[in-house]
């Protein structure tokens, strides 16, 4: 399988951590693919018209995109415990928690893009800050209850992305449980094998 990859994308990192956790990383070849909101990647658009990563080309030539879809697919390829429950209340809880984490990452990327503009809109920056604080509080409230799975992986990646792009908000001061979780999770082999911002 071929994964369009960047070391700075938290969504790509989520897929790679998931692949390492499920023992599938050695079946994936990565290709560096730089994408930006203002510069559509013409070659990538032949496989993903949205010009977004991660995009995964399977052995048969078919293509999957969106990190959740790719992780759902990878979860069908290994023989270990599923990291995304297949059915029932546990599935909806897992997907809801994943939606919080991945939605938070979406917010952070939009926030960063806005604050890097020459003339960012103050009201938009304020709205992002309010939403980020609310999302952090929600993560802090239930981080200790989240089992190993896609949501926990995404939250581990989220903590690292906060450090990488938003070290100025000092999130650990108000989120001690999330901070403790991230300190431990960041030492997992899957996280150490996928350092953010390198490569």
**pLDDT tens digits, 58-113:** 999 999 999 999 999 999 999 999 999 999 999 999 999 999 999 999 999 999 99
3-state helix, strand, coil in the chain (%, to 5): 60, 10, 35
Higher pLDDT residue, 198 or 148?
A: 148
Q: Alpha-carbon distance 115 to 169, whole Å?
A: 13
pLDDT of residue 198: 58
**pLDDT tens digits, 153-195:** 999 999 999 999 998 999 999 999 999 999 999 999 999 999 9
**pLDDT tens digits, 50-60:** 999 999 999 99
Q: Alpha-carbon distance 46 to 50, whole Å?
A: 10
Query: Which letter does DSSP use for residue 7 in this model?
Result: T
Give the closest residue to 19 by CA, choosing from 114, 150, 171. Answer: 150
Q: Alpha-carbon distance 68 to 90, whole Å?
A: 16
pTM of the entire predicted model = 0.95
pLDDT of residue 191: 98
């Amino acid at each position: 399988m071929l994964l369009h990859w960047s070391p700075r994308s938290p969504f790509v990192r989520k897929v790679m951590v998931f692949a390492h956790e499920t023992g599938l990383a050695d079946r994936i070849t990565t290709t560096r693919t730089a994408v930006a909101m203002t510069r559509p990647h013409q070659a990538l658009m032949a496989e993903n018209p949205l010009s977004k990563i991660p995009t995964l080309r399977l052995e048969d030539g078919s293509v999957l995109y969106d990190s959740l879809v790719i992780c759902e697919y990878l979860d069908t390829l290994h023989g270990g415990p599923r990291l995304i429950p297949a059915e029932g209340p546990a599935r909806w809880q897992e997907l809801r928690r994943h939606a919080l984490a991945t939605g938070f990452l979406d917010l952070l990327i939009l926030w960063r893009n806005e604050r890097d503009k020459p003339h960012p809109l103050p009201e938009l920056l304020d709205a992002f800050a309010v939403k980020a604080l609310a999302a952090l509080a929600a993560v802090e409230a239930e981080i200790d209850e989240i089992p190993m799975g896609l949501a926990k992986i995404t939250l581990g990646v989220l903590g690292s992305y906060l450090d990488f792009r938003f070290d100025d908000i000092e999130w650990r001061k108000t989120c001690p449980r999330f901070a403790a979780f991230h300190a431990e999770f960041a030492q997992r082999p899957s996280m150490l094998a996928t350092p953010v911002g390198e490569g």
